Amino acid sequence: METPQQYEITGLGLSSNKYTVEQTGQDKNFRPEYEARNITGQTIFRCTYNTYEGETSFVDDDDNELLTIAPSGTLDIAGDYLLTDSQTGDDLVVLDNDFSFFVRV
């Protein structure tokens, strides 16, 4: 059995094991905006989901880019997503999305 690798994002200090991600609204182009918060409610990072532009950037409160996620295709139904550390340029992990439909409730 292999030892699990750590996937640390250079500019992001995660010290807790519980976080909340919520859609906070939409930008002027109607793209959904998200924030991740720790258990005390402090914003850890935020992003605007770029549905048709490919790569999406996650930034901190000072607008410093922390990481990017790039889909393998143009449709958000199924596909792979590559997470890259923006400060080092290192590819961290590929997330595999077998099949999903995003539905607003």
Q: Half-sphere exposure of residue 48, counting CA atoms within 13 Å on the CB side? A: 11
User: Between residues 85 and 3, which one has the greater pLDDT?
Assistant: 85
Q: Is the pLDDT of residue 26 over 80?
A: yes
Q: How far is CA 85 from CA 4, 26, 67, 88, in A?
A: 19, 25, 5, 6
pTM of the model: 0.65
The per-residue pLDDT for 14 is 76
Tens digits of residue pLDDT in 73-82:
655 555 677 8
